[in-house]
């Protein structure tokens, strides 16, 4: 009896799907979680999220969500968000930030990610160019999903990893979209007023130069961390500095970081009405609206000025205490002669730290030849998990890292520094 061989055809998918790049952060998280499952004690400072046992959402918001479900607020919300929430967002932004938006300028979605995606899809045609700095969060992936092109430039530690006007001006004639974030994920640093003003002027000058009917340069300004600033740090935005930028700026914002509500999934965008209307069309087809109960609860909560102010004051202190603790610890290690550094905390839930360990050797003589070697050594020897900046688009050999405090207990800070000190002492 003869045998037959069945040849399985290769499955073919779209070019976009075929070439999607997996998240470096998720890859690292898998390794960390595997160690934790095996019983290892790991200080996981990788995740840009909060431990709800340490950083719970506001009690009023939590009760509001439960009440909304009990009141059967479970049908479809409008694609642009319920009117009460859009109005509450305008109130919140006007009261704390001085913004003068109307509800026509606001759209609600299930977090910041769909807002960013819809901005890219609304503004960009295939082949259009997006200009953005690195390190930055996920712009490369949204460029890919939009069939666009990117021009990226690597920022410098001496400028707190923020873009300079010269970086923008060099490529502005090619750009359809400039993507900026302040406070910045992954660095926790912010844009200075003078630099942001100069970048706005570059965009305005370019748009004045372009012929009528040609697409202008738009600015996507992600300010999801704007309420979490510390010390003397002040948050600046494009339209407060240059009111003319209101025609060209699309904001990304929401409750995920301000109120430790990453899983509640309520985000919003602010933009000129025409852009909001087109984003609404995209999101209505994607179905990326925030759940109605969460919208109802968030609307009520944002109108409770006293509760909002009380919560923001509390979370700022809790985050600031952790960031300052780690910064002091790294500066102590630096004074002791170890090749590490950190940038003074400014905002968000992140500390920028450096491990200049390339070329060092472990106790068994193994050289730390690459940033991946350093990351693995810190994880294996110090039991500390951090995210290297190359996961945010920088060169593979950058020795800078994101340290996130959203899941860290304050009492663990000293223990982590002690563990790092012990691991660094073993290097030669």
pLDDT (tens place) for every residue of the chain, 428 residues total: 455 555 567 889 998 898 888 777 777 777 787 888 888 889 999 989 999 999 999 999 999 999 999 999 999 999 999 999 999 999 999 999 999 999 999 999 999 999 999 999 999 999 999 999 999 999 999 999 999 999 999 999 999 999 999 999 999 999 999 999 999 999 999 999 999 999 999 999 999 999 988 999 999 999 999 999 999 999 999 999 999 999 999 999 999 999 999 999 999 999 999 999 999 999 999 999 999 999 999 999 999 999 999 999 999 999 999 999 999 999 999 999 999 999 999 999 999 999 999 999 999 999 999 999 999 999 999 999 999 999 999 999 999 999 999 999 999 999 999 999 999 999 99
Q: Which residues are 267's β-sheet partners? A: 109, 254
**Which residues fall within 8 angstroms of residue 2, CB to CB, at 6 or more apart?**
none
Question: Domains in the chain, please, with CATH?
Answer: 19-48+313-425 (3.90.1150.10), 59-309 (3.40.640.10)
Rg (C-alpha) for the chain, rounded Å, is 23
Instruction: List, in order, residues 6 or more apart from 135 with CB less than 8 Å away.
Output: 155, 161, 184, 186, 187, 389, 392, 393, 394, 398, 400, 402
**387 touches 350 (CB < 8 A):** no
Of 415, 405, 421, 422, the residue nearest 186 (C-alpha): 405
In angstroms, the CA 15 to CA 294 distance is 36
| Dist. CA 36–CA 330, nearest whole Å | 25
Residue 325, SS3?
helix
Q: Could you give the CA distance from residue 128 to residue 116 in angstroms, rounded to a whole number?
A: 16
> Is 268 within 8 Å of 255 (Cβ atoms)?
no
């Amino acid at each position: 009896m003869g045998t037959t061989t069945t040849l399985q055809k290769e499955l073919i998918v779209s070019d976009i799907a075929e070439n999607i790049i997996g998240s470096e952060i998720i890859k690292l998280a898998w390794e960390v979680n595997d160690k934790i499952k095996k019983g290892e004690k790991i200080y996981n400072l990788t995740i840009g999220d909060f431990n709800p046992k340490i950083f719970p959402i506001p009690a009023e918001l939590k009760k509001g969500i439960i009440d909304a479900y009990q009141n059967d607020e479970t049908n479809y919300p409008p694609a642009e968000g319920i009117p009460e929430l859009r109005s509450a967002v305008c109130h919140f932004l006007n009261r704390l930030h001085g913004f003068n938006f109307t509800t026509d300028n606001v759209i609600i979605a299930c977090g910041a990610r769909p807002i960013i995606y819809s901005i890219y899809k609304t503004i960009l045609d295939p082949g259009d160019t997006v200009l953005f700095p690195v390190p930055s969060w996920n712009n490369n992936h949204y460029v890919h999903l939009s069939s666009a092109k990117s021009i990226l430039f690597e920022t410098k530690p001496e400028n707190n990893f923020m873009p300079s006007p010269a970086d923008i001006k060099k490529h502005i004639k090619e750009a359809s979209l400039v993507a900026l974030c302040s406070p910045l994920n992954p660095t926790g640093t912010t844009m200075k007023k003078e630099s942001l003003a100069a970048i706005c002027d570059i965009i305005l000058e370019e748009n004045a130069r372009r012929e009528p009917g040609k697409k202008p340069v738009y600015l996507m300004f992600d300010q999801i961390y704007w309420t979490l600033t510390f010390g003397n740090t002040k948050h600046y935005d494009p339209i407060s500095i240059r009111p003319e930028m209101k025609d060209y700026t699309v904001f990304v914002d929401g409750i995920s970081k301000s109120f430790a509500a990453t899983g509640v999934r309520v985000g919003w965008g602010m933009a000129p009405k025409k852009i909001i209307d087109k984003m609404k069309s995209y999101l209505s087809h994607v179905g990326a609206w925030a759940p109605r109960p969460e919208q109802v609860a968030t609307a009520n909560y944002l109108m409770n000025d006293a509760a909002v102010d009380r919560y923001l004051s509390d979370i700022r202190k809790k985050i600031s205490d952790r960031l300052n603790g780690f910064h002091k610890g790294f500066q102590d290690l630096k004074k002791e002669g170890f090749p590490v550094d950190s940038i003074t905390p400014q905002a968000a839930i992140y500390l920028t730290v450096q491990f200049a360990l390339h070329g060092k050797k472990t106790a068994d003589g193994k050289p730390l030849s690459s940033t991946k070697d350093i990351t693995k050594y810190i994880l294996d020897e110090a039991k500390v998990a951090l995210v290297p900046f190359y996961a945010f688009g920088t060169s593979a050999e950058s020795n800078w890292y994101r340290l996130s405090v959203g899941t860290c207990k304050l009492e663990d800070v000293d223990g982590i520094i002690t563990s790092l000190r012990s691991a660094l002492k073993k290097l030669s």
